[in-house]
Chains A and B, each alone.
Chain A
Amino acid sequence: MIWNEEFETLPREALQALQLKRLKLLVERVYEAVPYYRNKMEEAGVRPGDIKSLEDLIKLPFTTKEDLRLNYPFGLFAVPFDQVVRIHASSGTTGKPTVVGYTKKDIENWAELMARTLSCGGAHKGDIVHNAYGYGLFTGGLGAHYGAERLGAAVIPISGGNSKRQIMIMQDFGSTVLLCTPSYALNLADVMKEMNVDPASLKIRVGLFGAEPWSENMREEIEKKLGIKAIDIYGLSEVMGPGVASECIEEKKGLHVFEDFFIFEIINPDTGEAVPHGESGELVFTTLTKEAFPVIRYRTKDISRLIAEPCSCGRTFHRMQRITGRSDDMMIIRGVNVFPSQIEHVLMSIEGVEPHYQIIVDRKDALDIMEVQVEVSEQIFSDEVKVMEGLNKKIEREIKDLLGVSCKVKLVEPRTLQRSEGKAKRVIDKRKI
C-alpha cells in the first residue's frame, strides 16, 4: 500500500508543475545562501531568473564529490548553523569524510520518505522493524529508524554485527521486517543454518536491502534461503540518505524515485549530456526541499537508466533501474564506501611506504573481505620480523581508523604487483554479485 496516496499518485503534469515550483525556490535560495554555488552559477553564466521550465535545469552546473571535499566541513550548508539539528558523514576520497547536515524540517521529510520506502515494501504500523543498518555517522541506521517510527512500526535499533544475537532477537521479539545490506542477509542465512534455526520459523516476511549493489540472482538466493520477499532500496548521504528511491513489492522491477522531493537525470558521464531516453548513464540528483544541505545536479557516479513505463503499484513516479555499476573506482565493502585513494592516502602517510599497492576484494561466507597488498621497499624493510609485523599491523590499524572497515594487509615483494601503462589497476574485485 501507498504511504502518501495524494503525492505518490500525482498525475505527471501536476508532479512536474510541483517540481518546477520547488526548483525555482531552491535555486533562488541557494544562490543567496551558498557563496560557492553562486560562484559556480555565475561562472556558468546562469542566474535564478533563467530557470523558467524544467528543461532549464541543464543550464545549472553539476555538483561533484570534489566540490563537497573543497568545502569541508560545512561550506555548502545553506542555513545558519543554529538551525542544523543533525550531522552525518560518509566516506570521502582522501583523508576527510564527506559531511552533510539536516534541519528539523529535513529530518521530518526524510522520515516521510523512509516511511514511503517501507510502505513500498508492504511494511505498516504494527510491524516490528529489525534495523541492522549501521547506526552512527552513516545515514543508513538513523535514516531507516526515523522512517520506521513515522510509519508507526516498532523499531529494534540493533545496528550491524553479532549475527547470533540478531537471530536470537528475531526469534524472541518476532521481527517482521528486515533492514540490512543484501550480503549481510545472506550471512544471517548462513548463521541460521549453523544455529539450526529454520528461517520459516521466523516471522520476517520482507527485507529492504540497500547500501551496496546486488543482482537478481542474489535476490533469488535471499528470497529462497530466508523465505521472504526482498526489495531494493536506494539512497546516498550527499542527496539525503536511504529513502531516495525504492522498488515496490508489487513489481520489484526498478526503483520509484520520490520525484516530488528529487529530480533525477541520466547523463553521459563523459559529455555531461542527457542520454537518449531509456539508455544507461550516470545518475544525477537535484534536491527540491532540503534546507541545510541542498544539492544541485549532484553526480553520483552510479550507473542506471530510466524506466518511464507506468507501474501496476499505482505510483506515478518514474523508476531508475537497479544500480549496475559505477563510473569511478569506488568499492562498497560490507556496506561501507571505500575509495582506493583513501588507501593510498594512508600508505603515503606512513614514512617510507611507496604507493605500490593492490586491493583484492572477495566474498567469503557472504561477507566482503578486503586484502591490501603493499610492496616492501628497501626503506621499510627490516631484518627483524617484529618490525615487519609491526608495520603490517600499523597499516591495518590506520586503514581501519580512516575507512571504518577493517582489512588484511599483506606485505609482498616489489614488482610482483601489476605495473600498467597509465592508470595502475588498483583493485581486483573477485566478487560475483
Chain B
Amino acid sequence: MYSVNSVANERGVEMKVEQISIFLENKYGRLAEVTEVLAKAGINIRALSLADTADFGILRLIVNDTEKAKAVLKDNGFTVGKTEVVAVEVPDRPGGLAGILNALKGEGINVEYMYAFVQRSGENAIIIFRFDDVEKAIYALQEGKIRILKGEEVYSL
C-alpha cells in the first residue's frame, strides 16, 4: 500500500512533467501549422508523439514553456489540453525497459501510452510515460529505485 500523503507534497508535483496535447483533424498541413505557430512564439519542442486514427490525430508535445505554448496555440484556434506525464530514466541496455515495466506491473499500474526522448540523460535513455494513476506510478517507480526526471530538468534538456 502506498500513502497518498507521501507523494501529494511538493516533491510529488516536481516529479510530474507537463505535456500539451492538441486535437488535429486529418487535414493536410495542420501539423505544419502547429510547428509554425510555436516557432513564431519562440517555443522549443523537447519531445513529441503523434497518435492517429482514421479521422483525427492527437499531437502530444513537451515544450520548454508550457503556459506560453498553450496560450499561443489557443489564440490560433487549436483545441489544447494539458496532461501530467512522467519522464523515466531507462538504462540503455537490453532489459532496461523490461525492468521498469515489471516494477509497474507489480503494482497494477496501466500505461496508456509512452514515447522516447531524443536527448539522453547521461548514459541513459529517457521515456515519457502516461499512466492511468500517476501518483501510484511515481510511488512504484521510486520504490523500485528507478530514477524519475523532474519537470524542470526535462523542459531544459
Contact = CB atoms under 8 A, between A and B. Distances in A.
Contacts of A378: 79-81
Nearest to B85: A383
A388 B56 CA distance: 9
Contacts of B23: 376, 381, 388, 411, 413
Nearest to A412: B25
Contacts of A24: none
B21 interface: yes
Interface in B30-55: 30, 51, 53, 55
A377 interface: yes
Interface in A364-412: 376-378, 381-386, 388-389, 392, 410-412
A414 interface: yes
A384 B112 contact: yes
Contacts of B2: none
B79 A414 contact: yes
B94 interface: no
A383 B77 contact: no
A381 B21 contact: yes
A383 B58 contact: yes
B55 A415 contact: no
B60 interface: yes
A392 B53 CA distance: 12
Q: Which among A376, A377, A383, A413 has the greatest number of chain B C-beta atoms within 10 A?
A: A383
Contacts of B58: 383-385, 388
B109 to A, nearest CB: 15
Nearest to B82: A383
Q: Is chain A's binding surface mostly helix, strand, loop or mixed?
A: loop
B148 to A, nearest CB: 19
B78 A413 contact: yes
Contacts of A327: none
A349 interface: no
A69 B46 CA distance: 57
B81 A377 contact: no
Most buried by A among B19, B58, B80: B58
Contact of B60 (A381, A383, A413): A383
Contacts of A415: 77
B142 interface: no
Nearest to B21: A383
B24 interface: yes
Of the candidates B24, B25, B79, B81, the one having the most CB atoms from chain A within 10 angstroms of its own CB is B79
Contacts of A39: none
Interface residues of A, number: 19
A383 B60 CA distance: 7
Interface in B57-83: 58, 60, 77-81, 83
B59 to A, nearest CB: 10
Contacts of A388: 23, 53, 56, 58
B51 A385 contact: yes
Given A388-B56, A414-B77, A383 B25 contact: no
A411 B113 contact: no
A377 B51 CA distance: 19
Contact of A382 (B25, B55, B81): B81
A377 B23 CA distance: 9
A411 B79 CA distance: 12
A413 B81 contact: no
Contacts of B19: 383
Nearest to A383: B21
Contact of A377 (B24, B30, B79): B79
A413 B130 contact: no
Contacts of B53: 385, 388-389
A4 interface: no
Contacts of A418: none
B77 A381 contact: no
Nearest to A375: B79
A410 B55 CA distance: 7
A167 B105 CA distance: 56
A204 to B, nearest CB: 39
A416 B21 contact: no
Contacts of B112: 384, 386
Contact of A413 (B21, B25, B83, B113): B25
A383 B19 CA distance: 9
Contacts of A413: 23-25, 30, 77-79
B133 to A, nearest CB: 14
Given A411-B55, A411-B56, A381 B25 contact: no
A392 B58 CA distance: 14
Contacts of A376: 23, 79
Contacts of A410: 55
Interface in B108-136: 112-113, 130
A223 B130 CA distance: 60
Contacts of A414: 77, 79
Given A376-B23, A411-B23, A413-B24, A383 B56 contact: no
7 contacts: A378-B79, A381-B23, A384-B112, A385-B53, A388-B23, A410-B55, A413-B24
Given A376-B23, A392-B55, 6 more contacts: A377-B79, A378-B81, A382-B81, A411-B25, A411-B56, A413-B77
